[in-house]
Amino acid sequence: MKSKITVALAGNPNAGKTTIFNNLTGARQHVGNYPGVTVERKEGLCLHGNIELQIVDLPGTYSLTAYSAEEMVARNFIIDERPDVVVDIIDASNLERNLYLAVQLMELGVPLVLAFNMSDMAKARGYEFDTEKLSRFFRARIVQTVGNKGTGMKELLDAIIETATNGTSDTNHKDEKSSTGVLSSRANIRGSHHQAVPIMNYGWEIEKEIAKIETLIQENRSVAGKYNARWLAVKLLENDRELRAKVTSPKINEQVKKGIEHLEKVLGESTETAIAGARYGFISGACQEAVRSTIEIRHTISDRIDSVVMSRVLGMPIFLGLMYLVFQLTFTLGDPPMEWIDNFFGWLGGMVQ
Ligand SMILES: Nc1nc2c(ncn2[C@@H]2O[C@H](COP(=O)(O)OP(=O)(O)O)[C@@H](O)[C@H]2O)c(=O)[nH]1
Ligand SMILES: [Mg+2]
């Protein structure tokens, strides 16, 4: 293992990135700017055991598209500087929304750790996570943290070092707790685990187009080495303007154009929308399997009431009973005011005459 590990902290704004960055680096920080843009670049050092970690606080982003300077900086840092580990700081109390970035990091194929931060808030909201299962879905070790209390920092560092050492590659097949006590997620992904874990799949039509472009990318030496071929194929189909400008091969561009046209015709929506929709579908499926919430329990109580009130046998009598009650209330409670109004108009009539 390298004696120095580069770690990039990614995450949605307000997920607690800076808090965790400060916890890990203390006063050993350096603040600069990314070249050419006014996006702040914060770096710091952290010593864990005898391993030195260089930690970079990436700008907060919801996605890895080419829409904003922040997203471009975050994405290009990961692609160009190839940090040994990317830690996605997730606001676990808003899990589904935050996992959108995690899916994209997973697709990018980077060694990934997910910090489920704000786990105190998530708990207060009644969420319970099956982190082992989520870890298999997202191909990343997961650590629950409370940034502002410093909880989970040691476990996070263990997971980072474990990921830098063993990677998140499929070659790691030991289906057991690792030496650091952090569950080695990759171990369970394909090889030894009996339960197959679905990988992010965009559906037959889109997958067919991805495969065609992916093949052309792999044959093209100028882009093949730099990018994960599947990721680039997806991004091109998403019509990512920066990457479409970067890829100059006419063969690839022609295939991308054809692919987008075909997909928009058969899907009836933009490829961008369809691809984002598939990502959200994946997240929602994973959460349905691995996140429990007491809000769900509240749901089931209201479901139970519904099942009585809406039932075929009791529904009508309950409805008629309620109507009778409304009728009674209207006339018994409505009687006195009706009398007052009657008297008032009688009096008014007398005055006019
Ligand atoms: N309740 C709670 N608050 C946190 C946690 N982590 C960070 N915060 C607070 O959340 C706010 C946003 O954190 P910050 O680190 O600035 O987020 P960033 O935008 O991702 O850099 C700050 O007020 C932190 O003190 C946590 O685990 N639980
Ligand atoms: Mg910040």
Res. 288: pLDDT tops 50: yes
Q: What is the pLDDT of residues 297-319, one digit of tens each?
A: 666 677 777 777 777 778 888 88
Distance 132 CA to ligand 1 centre (A): 25
CB 119 within 8 A of CB 92: yes
pLDDT value, residue 298 = 62
Half-sphere exposure of 155 (CA within 13 A, CB side): 18
Substitution candidate for ligand 1 out of 148, 149, 151 with most atoms within 8 A of CB: 148
Q: Minimum mean pLDDT among 28-32, 64-68, 100-104, 142-146: which range?
A: 28-32
Give Cβ neighbours of residue 87 (< 8 Å, ≥ 6 apart): 7, 8, 9, 10, 20, 112, 113, 114, 115, 156, 160
Q: What domains, with CATH codes, occur in the chain?
A: 4-198 (3.40.50.300), 204-286 (1.10.287.1770)
CA of 148 to the centre of ligand 1 (A): 6
- Contacts with 90 (C-beta within 8 Å, 6 or more apart), sequence order: 11, 12, 15, 98, 99, 102, 114, 115, 116, 117
Residues whose CB falls within 8 Å of the CB of residue 25, separated by 6 or more in sequence, listed in order: 44, 45, 46, 55
User: Residue with the nearest Cα to atom 2 of ligand 1?
Assistant: 118
Instruction: Name the residue at shortest CA distance from atom 4 of ligand 1.
Output: 148
DSSP SS3 for 88: strand
Q: Residue 5's closest CA among 44, 42, 55, 39?
A: 55
Q: What is the DSSP letter of 32?
A: E
Confidence of residue 189 (pLDDT cuts 50, 70, 90): very low
Q: Is the CB of 14 under 6 A from ligand 1?
A: yes
DSSP-assigned letter for residue 33? E
Is the pLDDT at 193 greater than 60, yes or no?
no
Residue 59 Cβ contacting ligand 1 at under 6 Å: no
The residue that leads in pLDDT, 266 or 172, is 266
Q: Does residue 170 have a pLDDT over 70?
A: no
The pLDDT value given to residue 3: 73
Cα 51 to ligand 2 centre (Å) = 25
Among 122, 165, 161, residue whose Cα is nearest residue 294? 122
Condensed to tens digits (0 to 9), the pLDDT of residues 110-134 reads: 999 999 999 999 999 999 999 999 9
Q: 181 in ligand 1 pocket by Cβ < 6 Å?
A: no
Q: Which of 14, 18, 19 to mutate to test the pocket of ligand 1 (most atoms within 8 A of CB)?
A: 19
Q: What is the pLDDT of residues 141-159, one digit of tens each?
A: 999 999 999 999 999 999 9
Lowest mean pLDDT among 58-67, 317-326, 328-337: 328-337
| CB 235 within 8 Å of CB 269 | no
Counting atoms of ligand 1 from 1, which one is nearest the CA of 146? 27
CA 351 remoteness from chain centre = 73
Distance 315 CA to ligand 1 centre (A): 49
In the structure encoding, which two tokens stand for residue 169, read together?
Answer: 């590659």
pLDDT > 70 fraction of the chain, expressed in percent and rounded: 89
Residue 297: the pLDDT is 61
Ligand 1 site, residue 118, Cβ cutoff 6 A? yes
Mean pLDDT of the chain: 86
Q: How far is the CA of 150 from the centre of ligand 1 (A)?
A: 11
Mean pLDDT for the stretch of residues 178-184: 37
Helix (H/G/I), strand (E/B), else coil: 178: coil
> Which of the ligands is closest to the CA of residue 19?
1
Give 329's pLDDT tier (boundaries 50, 70, 90).
Answer: confident
- 117 CA to middle of ligand 2, Å? 14
Ligand 1 within 6 A of 16 CB? Answer: yes
Helix (H) or strand (E) holding 102, with range, is helix 95-108
Query: CA–CA separation, 71 vs 137, rounded Å?
Result: 24
- Evaluate whether 240 touches 104 at the Cβ level (below 8 Å): no
Q: What is the pLDDT of residue 183?
A: 36
Alpha carbons within 13 angstroms on the beta-carbon side of residue 91 total: 18
**Is residue 72 over pLDDT 60?**
yes
- pLDDT on residue 26: 87
Per-residue pLDDT at 184 = 36
Q: Is 17 in the pocket of ligand 1 (CB under 6 A)?
A: yes
Burial class (CB in 10 A: 0-12, 13-18, 19+), 269: exposed
Q: Measure the CA dihedral 154/156/158/162, to 10°.
A: 180
